Chains A and B, each alone.
Chain A
Amino acid sequence: MIELQERTRRISPSRLHEILMSYGCASVVDPFMGLPTHLNYLKRHGIAVHGGDLLEWFVRVGEGIVVNDLTILRDSEVAEIVEMLPGRIYSLDMFKAWEGVFFSEEQCVYLGVWHDNVRNLRSDGQTGLAILGLWRAFCYWLQKTQNPDDMQDIPPSELAWSYIRQTEQWVIANMRRNTVRQTDVLTTIGAQRADALFLSPPARNSFRSADARIWMWEAWWQGNPYFTIEHAYRDSLFGARAADAPAYARALASVLSTAENYPVIVVQTTEQRIGDIEAIVRNARPNVEIIAPHPYETYLVATK
Chain B
Amino acid sequence: MKLMTLFQDTVGDPRTAAARLAGVLGLYGALGDAACGNPAGFAVRKAATAVSIASVAGVDGVDRDALYYAGLLHAVGALDNAAYRKGERLSERMARIEAWDVPAQGARVCLEIPALPAQTSDYVRWQSECWDGTGYPDQLRWAGIPSAAVILGLADTAVRCADPDEALAAIAFQAGRAFGPDSSRIFTTWFHTYGGEADPVDPPLEHLRADDVSTAALLDTIADRIDTHAGVAGRWRRIARLTEAAAEALALEAEERKALAIAVRTYGAGDIGERADGGETSFDPLARLGIDVRAAHGSAAAALLEGNGALGIAAAILGARGEWFDGTGKPNGLFKAAIPTGAAILAAAIASDALDHKDRIDTAGGTQFDPHVVRAILEAARTHA
A: residues with CB less than 8 A from B are: 4-15, 17-18, 35, 37-38, 40-41, 44, 136, 139-140, 143-144, 146-147, 150-152, 163, 166, 169, 172, 293-294, 296
Report, nearest first, the 7 A-B pairs whose CB atoms are least far apart: A147-B181, A14-B104, A150-B181, A151-B176, A37-B139, A10-B144, A14-B137
Q: How far is the CA of A140 from the CA of B173 in the complex (A)?
A: 13
Q: How far is the CA of A4 from the CA of B210 in the complex (A)?
A: 43
Q: Report which residue of B103, B122, B140, B176 has the largest number of chain A beta carbons within 10 angstroms of its beta carbon.
A: B176
State whether B181 touches A151 (Cβ < 8 A).
yes
Query: B-side interface residues toward A, CB under 8 Å?
Result: 93, 96-97, 101, 103-104, 107-108, 121-122, 125, 132-134, 137-144, 172-173, 175-177, 181, 184-185
For the complex, would chain B's binding face be called helix, strand, loop or mixed by DSSP majority?
Answer: helix
Cα A171 to Cα B251 in complex, Å, equals 61
- List the A side residues contacting B175 at CB < 8 Å: 147, 150-152
The distance in angstroms between the C-alpha atoms of A13 and B144, with both chains bound, is 13
Q: Give CA–CA (A11, B142) in the complex, Å.
A: 13
- Inter-chain CA distance A46–B267, complex, in Å, is 35
Q: Which residues of B contact A296 (CB under 8 A)?
A: 144
A7, A8, A12, A140: the one within 8 Å of B138 (CB): A12
Which A residues are CB-close (under 8 A) to B144?
A: 8-10, 296
Chain B: minimal CB distance from A136 (Å): 5
Residue pair B176, A169 in contact (C-beta under 8 Å):
no
23 A-B residue pairings within 8 Å (CB atoms): A4-B142, A5-B142, A6-B142, A8-B144, A13-B137, A14-B104, A14-B138, A18-B108, A38-B138, A38-B139, A40-B139, A41-B138, A41-B139, A44-B97, A136-B133, A139-B132, A140-B176, A147-B175, A150-B184, A152-B175, A163-B134, A169-B97, A293-B122
Given contacts A44-B97, A136-B133, A169-B96, contact A147 B138 (CB under 8 A): no
Is B132 a contact of A7 with CB atoms below 8 Å?
no
User: In the complex the two chains form, is B133's CB within 8 Å of A14's CB?
Assistant: no
User: How many angstroms from the CA of A9 to the CA of B101 in the assembled complex?
Assistant: 22
Give min CB distance, A133 to chain B, whole Å: 10
Contacts of B185 in A (CB 8 A): 150
Which residues of chain A have C-beta atoms less than 8 A from B141's C-beta? 8
Q: Which residue of B lies closest to A135 (CB)?
A: B133
Are B176 and A147 touching (Cβ within 8 A)? yes
Bound state CA distance, A6 and B175, in angstroms?
A: 17
Residue of B nearest to A213 (CB): B142
- Bound-state CA distance A5–B137 (Å) is 23
**Given the complex, which residues of A lie within 8 Å of B121, measured CB to CB?**
293
Which of B104, B122, B138, B173 contacts A152 (CB under 8 A)? Answer: B173
| A14 contacts across to B, CB distance below 8 A | 101, 103-104, 107, 125, 137-138
CB-CB nearest in chain B for A172: B97
- Whether A8 touches B133, Cβ cut-off 8 Å, given contacts A143-B176, A144-B176, A294-B122, is no
CB contact under 8 A between A10 and B108, given known A150-B175, A152-B176:
no
Cα–Cα distance between A147 and B139 once the two chains are bound (Å): 22
B104/A150 in contact, CB under 8 A: no
A10-B140, A14-B107, A144-B176 are known; give 5 further A-B pairs, CB within 8 A. Answer: A9-B144, A11-B138, A136-B134, A146-B181, A294-B122
A13 touches B138 (CB 8 A): yes
Nearest-CB residue, chain A, relative to B174: A152
Chain B residue numbers with a CB within 8 Å of A163 are 134
Task: Report Cα–Cα, A163/B133, bound state, in Å.
Answer: 11
In the bound assembly, the distance between CA atoms of A29 and B121 in angstroms comes to 27
A274 CB to closest chain B CB, in angstroms? 19
